[in-house]
Amino acid sequence: MRSPIKSLLTVALLVALGAGGYLLWQQTRSTLPAGLIMANGRLEATEADVASKLAGRLIALTPKEGDRVEAGAPVGRIDVADLVAQRTQADAQVLAATQAIAEAEAGVASAQSSRALARATLKRSAELVERGFLSAQRLDTDRAAVRAAEAAVRAAAVRVEAARANETAAQAARQRLDVLVADGELRAPVSGRVLYRLVEPGAVVAAGGKVLTVIDLSEATMTVFLPAEAAGTVNVGDDARLVFDAWPDTPVPARISFVADKSQFTPREVETRSEREKLMFRVKLSVTADWLATHADTVKPGMAGVAWLRLDPATPWPAQLAP
């Protein structure tokens, strides 16, 4: 059986702990600068995949995980030897089509010459028939020859158009192969840092197969959740400050880039269950481009930190949050 003295001591200890915790909470709360609100979040960045448009064997992949790559820079290569051979064949087909055009045009010239001769012959025949030196039957024959010559000219012109169409098709096939061969050169879609190297040279990748994942460091954001009374006082474009656990003495300048127009329950991973029962507004903060440009090598998505926002834009930032 527990003694009354021990019970009283236990109660007194609990009361003391509760009072101490309340005082600590009040002290921590009082340290929050007036006119500011804070919220927890993590740094986020867009991930872009380097994928192959072609199915084939990966014969080169230069960047390692952690390497920085520039947008448009070559990072790997797919084996396109078969496509190169097809392009050589297409070159020959283009040449053959060009020669066919020349032959067809020569045919037009020949047909036009035959037509001119047929017309001249018809003219002479008509004069001779009129003088009585030739029969009318000869005139009919020469007229038929002119009609045949004119038909030959039209047929030759059609052959020229067909040859030109064949040349256009051959050139289009050649250009398509040029594009496919160029697609064998894998290039970084964005400037950033390689997060994952998904395959190694020698692997056969499918069309659309991913080989690298790159973090786009041109934009870094933090998403936080604010209560309605606070969300109603902040606007897109307002200044903010981010303080990361890894850099507690280095406030990072940011701007509000998005404020949700509808409230939602705060996700489980952001707050406790009791806090999730409150409707909150999602707010996104973007790190300023100038700061990112000079700290790209140190930024690491996933870093936990605190976002500070001003409820009144006229409120000055305290010294500890000055950029």
pLDDT in tens, 247-295: 888 899 999 999 988 777 666 555 444 454 467 889 999 999 889 888 8
Does residue 155 sit in the same domain as residue 191?
Answer: no
Does residue 190 sit in the same domain as residue 157?
Answer: no
Residues 175, 180: Cα–Cα separation, whole Å:
9
Answer whether residue 89 is part of any domain. Answer: yes
Answer whether residue 18 is part of any domain. Answer: no
Among the ranges given (109-118, 180-189, 309-318), the one the predictor scored with the smallest mean pLDDT: 309-318
Residue 30: per-residue pLDDT: 43
Answer whether residue 8 is part of any domain. Answer: no
Q: What is the CATH number of the domain that holds 286?
A: 2.40.30.170
Q: With contact defined as beta carbons under 8 Å apart, do 41 and 224 qualify? A: yes
DSSP string, 228-256: HHHHTT--TT-EEEEEETT-TT--EEEEE
- pLDDT higher than 50, residue 15: no
| pTM (global) more than 0.95 | no
Residues 120, 155: Cα–Cα separation, whole Å:
21
Does residue 99 sit in the same domain as residue 124?
Answer: yes
Does residue 74 sit in the same domain as residue 166?
Answer: no
Q: With contact defined as beta carbons under 8 Å apart, do 124 and 138 qualify? A: no
Residue 8 falls in which region: left (phi positive, over 0), alpha (psi -120 to 50) or beta = alpha
Alpha-helical regions (H) of 135-267: 136-183, 228-231
Tell me which range, 20-24, 135-139, 147-151, 261-265, is most confidently predicted by mean pLDDT.
147-151
Which residues, other chains included, contact 143 with Cβ-Cβ below 8 Å and sequence gap of 6+?
122
| Domains of the chain: total | 3
Answer whether residue 258 is part of any domain. Answer: yes
What residue numbers bound the domain in which 122 lies? Answer: 81-182
Provide the 3-class DSSP secondary structure of residue 216.
Answer: strand
Does residue 203 sit in the same domain as residue 275?
Answer: no
Residue of 305, 228, 295, 218 whose CA lies nearest to 259: 228
Tell me which range, 51-60, 147-156, 275-284, 291-300, is most confidently predicted by mean pLDDT.
51-60
Does residue 193 sit in the same domain as residue 308?
Answer: no
Average pLDDT over residues 206-224: 91
Does residue 307 sit in the same domain as residue 267?
Answer: yes
pLDDT in tens, 18-54: 444 334 334 434 455 678 888 999 999 989 999 999 9
Residue of 22, 31, 27 whose CA lies nearest to 306: 31
